Structure 1
Amino acid sequence: MNLVIPGVLIWLGLALVSANKIAVHDCGSKLAKITSIDVQPCTAIPCPFKKGTTVDVTVEFQASENFIVDSFVACDAGSFTKAESKVHGIIAGIAVPFPLRDKDACNNMKCPIKSGDKAVYKNSVAVLKNYPGIGVMVKWEIVSGKDTVLCFTVPVKIVS
């Protein structure tokens, strides 16, 4: 009995620490390997996206190619335009864009990134009050030219 209680407390503590890390559903990342995704607030799947709020996303990944060295050369100078963050809700097979305040991926992660580097991407998306209260698959991508740097999907429920 004495070993059971500490074991349960350790398990409960680990569950609480990792409660907001969600399962990675890669949808075609070509130039990076996603290691974790944190959606705030997301306490369960589907993630409840409350109307009138902002949802924050943090993606940890490892670059598999020098994509940012080649494509993000002017990133630090502020003139980079080749990599873009894109967020869509997939409704009945149709991609409906979610508005992002900043689509420039280098404004949301440290650039440049070389092959093998670990990186963190942070961005947020507004959940507008006029969105319908429905379940939707959210697809989040970073693209550079024709290449998908990283891509993941998250099941979401728009709630009041």
Structure 2
Amino acid sequence: MKSVVGTLLAVAFVITSTKSSPVQNCSGGLQEHPDNYKISDCERAPCRLRKNSNIELEFKFTSDVDAPSLKNNVYAKIVGIPFPFIGVDGTDACPQIYLPDGSKAGCPLKAGQDYVYKNSFKVLEIYPKLKVLVHWALTAPGNKDLLCFNVPARITS
């Protein structure tokens, strides 16, 4: 009986301590472990994006190339059509790049260096309530995705 209780407790611990990430790797760009990503109020997919809320995003990555600059490439795919996130898509990503110790790194990025990206964006009232696939990429000159990932999400009120 004691071993059965011990086994059940061990299984319960594994189930409760297993953390799934809402982030999915995408094709192209550096492939990082999904647990390197934090999205406010989202531990499982689909992430709930409430209108008129601010979503905070943070992820760790190691640059695989030297990059003099970076742009945010952020859009929601709706029925396979990309719709840019207003105010984030196409903006300079360099101000959101930090070193692991928390100090500002900015650009240029150096190959082999660890970085932390921190940003936030507003879920606008004009966004329709629906399920979307959010694509987030950091794009270096020449339209090369240095890093990209997808997040299944649902826009709600």
TM-score, with normalisation over the residues of structure 2?
0.77
| Aligned mates of 2:113, 2:74 — CA distance in 1 | 24
How many residue pairs get aligned? The number is 142
Task: State yes or no: 1:91 paired with 2:51.
Answer: no
The answer to whether the 8 Å contact 2:74/2:88 transfers is no
Q: Which letter does structure 2 place at the counterpart of 1:58? A: E
Matches within 5 A, 1:45-84: 45-67=45-67, 71=68, 82-84=69-71
**Superposed CA offset, 1:93-134 (max 9, x none):** 221111236932121112343222222111112111221111
Unaligned runs of at least 5 residues, structure 2: 99-104
CA deviations on 1:130-156 (whole Å, 9 max, x unpaired) are 211111111111112222111111111
- Report the counterpart of residue 113 of structure 1 in structure 2: 109
Q: Distance in 2 between matches of 1:92 and 1:101?
A: 21
**Counterpart position of 2:150:** 153
Match of 1:79 in 2: none
- Label 1:61 to 1:25 Cα distance change in 2 as closer, same or farther (>3 A): same
SS for the counterpart of 1:59 is strand
| Structure 1 unmatched runs, 5+ | 72-81
Structure 1 moving runs of 4+ over 3 Å: none
CA distance, structure 2, for counterparts of residue 122 and residue 60 of structure 1: 9
Question: Aligned equivalents of 2:61 and 2:153: distance in 1?
Answer: 22
State whether structure 2 residue 140 is matched by structure 1 residue 144.
yes
Identical pairs, percent = 27
**Residues in 1 aligned to 2:81 and 2:97: alpha-carbon distance in whole angstroms:** 29
Aligned-residue Cα RMSD (Å) equals 2.2
Distance 1:26 1:134 in 2: 21
Q: Tell me which moved more, 92-101 or 46-55.
A: 92-101
